[in-house]
Amino acid sequence: MSTVAMLLFPLGMALAASSDLLTMRISNKLVLLLAIGFVVTALIVEMPLQQFAMNVLCAFVVLMVAFGLFALRWIGGGDAKLAATTSLWLGFVGPSGDFTLVAYLVYAALLGGVLTLAILALRRLPLDTVFVGRPWLGWLNRLHDPKQGVPYGIALALAGMLTYTNSTIFERLTA
């Protein structure tokens, strides 16, 4: 059971990243599943109530800041919810005292910057006619369209996976 719980977060992150890449959307159902998965996993590993509450507070703080960024139209709503749910799993501080939330946000910013620059560079190149008008390559056409946003969920998911092994819940799963 703990193996399933341990893989739930990385699998959810992979689904969020691929969904954002292919559709420019992150499903509310996926975000909800990750949140419920955290609660179930926290119960399985018998996470102390105080730690659980701190992780919930962490997610709430990130959600409030992220929705502020969403209101400014700097990020998408799915990105805001994914960042908060990821923070729920990671918490403010890991078991060794390292600031997992800060590491997550720094990774997300750096990876998001690289992703944005790569997409902007891609958009400067002409899209080969073999890709244009193919319904099954709609995601590539969207990615190439300068009027579209950046699938930042990819950076958020990668940052979450890079930080996950430093989280309290991961430590408790592997203990």
Per residue in 103-113, pLDDT (tens digit) is 999 999 999 99
What whole-number distance in Å separates Cα of residue 137 and Cα of residue 96? 45
Q: Per-domain residue ranges for the chain?
A: 2-174
Please compute the mean of the pLDDT values over residues 147-164 and round it to a whole number. 96
Q: What is the pTM of this model?
A: 0.92
What whole-number distance in Å separates Cα of residue 67 and Cα of residue 49? 27
Q: Where on the phi/psi map is residue 162: left (φ > 0), alpha (ψ -120 to 50), or beta?
A: alpha
pLDDT tens across 56-66, in order?
Answer: 999 999 999 99
Whether the predicted pLDDT of 1 surpasses 70: no
pLDDT at 70: 95
**Average pLDDT value over all residues in the chain:** 93
Name the 3-class secondary structure at 61: helix
pLDDT at 112: 96
Please compute the mean of the pLDDT values over residues 28-47 and round it to a whole number. 96
The answer to whether the Cα torsion of 67, 6, 37, 55 is positive or negative is negative
Please state the separation of Cα 115 from the chain's center in Å: 14
Please compute the mean of the pLDDT values over residues 111-139 and round it to a whole number. 84
Please compute the mean of the pLDDT values over residues 26-31 and round it to a whole number. 97
Helices 28-44 and 77-90 cross at an angle (nearest 10°) of: 10
How many other CB atoms sit within 10 Å of the CB of residue 8? 19
Please compute the mean of the pLDDT values over residues 70-74 and round it to a whole number. 93
